[in-house]
Amino acid sequence: MSEQEIRVPDLGGADEVEVIEILVNAGDSVAEEDPILTVETDKASVELPSPSAGKIVNIIVKVGDKIKEGDVVGTLSSDSVDSSDSAGSAGSSDGASDGASNRSSAPEPKAQSDDAPAKPDDSTGKPAPQKKSGGTRTEIVKVSGLDGFDDIPIIELNVSEGDDVDVESALVTVESDKATMEIPSPLAGKIGKILVKEGDKISEGDDLLEMIITDDGADDGDDADDSAPADSIDAGNNSPAEPEPSAAPLAAPEQPAAASDNKAKPADTGSATYEVPAAGSKVHAGPAVRKLARELGVDLARVKGSGPKSRIIKDDVHGYVKAQLQQAQQGAVVPGAGTSGIPGVKLPDFSQFGEVEREGMSRMMSVTALNMHRSWLNVPHVTQFEDADISDMEDFRKSLKALGEKKGVKMTPLPFMLKACAAALAELPQFNVALDMDRKEVVHKKYIHIGIAVDTPHGLMVPVIRNVDQKGLWELAAESAELASKARDKKLKPAEMQGACFTITSLGGIGGTAFTPIVNTPEVAILGVSKAAMKPVWDGTAFQPRLMLPLSLSYDHRAVNGADAARFTSALARLMGDIRTLLL
Ligand code: CAO
């Protein structure tokens, strides 16, 4: 029996993906290619397969973790793995699988001296100097600043032995029946022995942990003060120098997002956001994080917490600021956030009208919403309508049914539309461009890749068929069916959703007479197809019953003018009206 690391395979170009589901447990037997995890990129959910058959030893990632190609996500035991390989990998996976073993490689706190710990100076609450050894000394950090709360349970240890911490780094999180709060470090140093555990109830003055301080020549008695920046905590009560408005010194009361709207608002964050948490969700953040947010002008109600119980940590605030800057550079917009001078949508309290339930958006839904809104605001849309007479095309398509059954491929109207669009794009190449507004350039594409919108239970996906102009109807029928089924089974790779020049969104199998699709930027046009219907068509002498296919072409009016749009839909109607012309 040997062990093998389970690593993230090629993600088809996606840099970092988020784990949204873990599909196996330790002890599960899996076959090669069995799905282990589901991850979500900006465009799709994808299952990561097992590299071989075996038994799951452990999975070391959790839902919400970000992983990239090559990362180890777990360990698999298998008889068939090469032993030399597995020996090495088992060792490293052990290390990765357990945070504690990682931590064990961190320098051990130095042994304590024989001296009994000195009593804290209760008048100041300053940690009591306990031990000196060479350039380091150990001090006991005590609970302080609980302001009247007693016996509050610890819900989380925020540090581990060997961690380096700064002044105000969160040491533990406690939760009273009114608030969740972090107890910040009064000192910078290395965490020694932790004297409490999760679930313990603590009160003012209780011993929390040992801290190893490296002396830098400063006076022993005043190191705590020396190590603290002028505006950091007061060692007497550990409260932030800048107290939270309406909050106890250490307390970070849970507040509805709306309530925090009243707090100091950033000058520029109303226009874009990192990831807006659901309205009404609580802001969990400790004093140090709140202080950082105030310094950077960040409204914490707009920041998504990545810590336990969605607590906001410093990295989240930095990530938010980074995303803001990137979005500002890219001219990005956020739905409902009051962008581009447009007032945001204010939500009423729906519960006053009846029962409601809230559900977090999936990442795909929020990314799709963002993309739709970005396109809607950035692209001057116009939609051109046309009816194509597909009576003959349908006769021909139906005549292929028996052959299709033999080939195992269903010939729907979609491959004909793909072929017609490829021919129209070749005929009118002004539709096969992207606009680079920064450089004032038009990017002409010399390839014809077409995206097809696929309706799936987990949202809209747009796989891309490459070189449509070079493929025959059967090939297109097989490829579009395969991509649509992969999309529905969450098996699409990110690369299979990139590179489209144009998109077809067909609602013809469902119904409707026309609609106005939104251009899938940076493409400049999209064809919406509605349900074909028999209509009376005047042939010059009489009305004839003809099967008419409604086409709705939305286009970016910066790239394409109305006359060209009319030419494009006319070309489509001509090509589908007489499919022999597709051969020309
Ligand atoms: N008019 C009338 N019937 C049509 C038609 C049309 N325009 N298009 C397809 N049909 C028929 C097909 O012929 C088929 O009928 P039969 O079973 O009798 O042959 C039936 O509708 C179902 O076709 P289909 O939808 O399975 O296959 P398709 O190749 O036409 O479409 C796909 C594939 C992936 C485009 C489609 O399944 C889909 O997901 N469409 C929704 C796309 C979407 O949600 N767009 C909205 C984007 S904006 O929110």
SS (H, E, C) 434-481: EEECCCCEEEECCCCCEEECEEECCEEECCEECCHHHCCHHHHHHHHH
Distance CA 320, CA 304 (A): 8
**What DSSP designation does 408 have?**
T
Distance CA 87, CA 493 (A): 32
The answer, yes or no, to whether any atom of ligand 1 lies below 6 A from the CB of 127, is no
Give distance in angstroms: CA of 522 to centre of ligand 1.
25
Give distance in angstroms: CA of 529 to centre of ligand 1.
9
Ligand 1 atom, smallest distance to 487 CA: 34
Q: Are strands 525-529 and 502-506 parallel, antiparallel or unpaired?
A: parallel
pLDDT of residue 326: 76
pLDDT of residue 134: 53
pLDDT of residue 262: 33
For 380-583, CATH number? 3.30.559.10
State the helix-helix crossing angle for 562-577 and 413-427, rounded to 10 degrees. Answer: 130
pLDDT of residue 153: 84
For 261-329, CATH number? 4.10.320.10
The answer, yes or no, to whether any atom of ligand 1 lies below 6 A from the CB of 465, is no
pLDDT of residue 244: 32
The answer, yes or no, to whether any atom of ligand 1 lies below 6 A from the CB of 461, is no
Quick check: helix, strand or coil at residue 562? helix
Round the CA-based radius of gyration of the chain to a whole number and report it.
Answer: 31
**What DSSP designation does 329 have?**
H
By annotation, the residues acting in catalysis are 557
pLDDT in tens, the chain (584 residues): 688 889 988 876 677 888 887 888 888 888 888 888 888 776 666 778 888 889 999 999 988 888 988 899 999 987 543 333 333 333 333 333 333 333 333 333 333 333 333 333 443 344 444 444 457 888 889 887 776 678 888 888 888 888 888 887 889 887 766 566 778 888 888 999 999 998 898 988 889 999 998 865 433 333 333 333 333 333 333 333 333 322 222 222 233 333 333 333 333 333 333 444 444 456 777 767 787 888 888 888 888 888 766 778 888 899 999 888 877 665 555 544 545 567 788 889 999 999 999 999 888 888 889 899 999 999 999 999 999 999 999 999 999 999 999 999 999 999 999 999 999 999 999 999 999 999 999 999 999 999 999 999 888 999 999 999 999 999 999 999 999 999 999 899 989 999 999 999 999 999 999 999 999 999 999 999 999 999 999 999 999 999 999 999 999 999 999 999 999 999 999 999 999 988 87
Q: For ligand 1, atom 25, which residue shows the shortest CA distance?
A: 509
Nearest CA to 367 among 274, 282, 305?
274
| Angle formed at CA 301 by CA 300 and CA 305, multiple of 5 degrees | 70
The answer, yes or no, to whether any atom of ligand 1 lies below 6 A from the CB of 173, is no
Same fold, 2-112 and 261-329: no
The answer, yes or no, to whether any atom of ligand 1 lies below 6 A from the CB of 484, is yes
Report the amino acid identity of residue 483: L
Q: For ligand 1, atom 26, which residue shows the shortest CA distance?
A: 509
Q: For ligand 1, atom 16, which residue shows the shortest CA distance?
A: 412
Give distance in angstroms: CA of 498 to centre of ligand 1.
22
Between the two ends of the chain, the Cα-to-Cα distance in Å is 63
pLDDT of residue 245: 29
Is pTM beyond 0.75? Reply is no
The answer, yes or no, to whether any atom of ligand 1 lies below 6 A from the CB of 455, is yes
Nearest CA to 307 among 288, 323, 335?
288
Parse the chain into domains and list their residue ranges. Answer: 2-112, 136-227, 261-329, 380-583
pLDDT of residue 147: 61
Task: Calculate the alpha carbon distances from 382 to 428, 467, 527, 562 in Å.
Answer: 17, 27, 12, 8
Third-level CATH fold of 136-227: OB fold (Dihydrolipoamide Acetyltransferase, E2P) (2.40.50)
The answer, yes or no, to whether any atom of ligand 1 lies below 6 A from the CB of 450, is no
Q: Which of 421, 506, 549 to mutate to test the pocket of ligand 1 (most atoms within 8 A of CB)?
A: 506
pLDDT of residue 388: 98
For 2-112, CATH number? 2.40.50.100
Distance CA 542, CA 491 (A): 51
The answer, yes or no, to whether any atom of ligand 1 lies below 6 A from the CB of 463, is no
Ligand 1 atom, smallest distance to 415 CA: 29
Q: Distance from CA of residue 217 to its chain's centroid?
A: 47
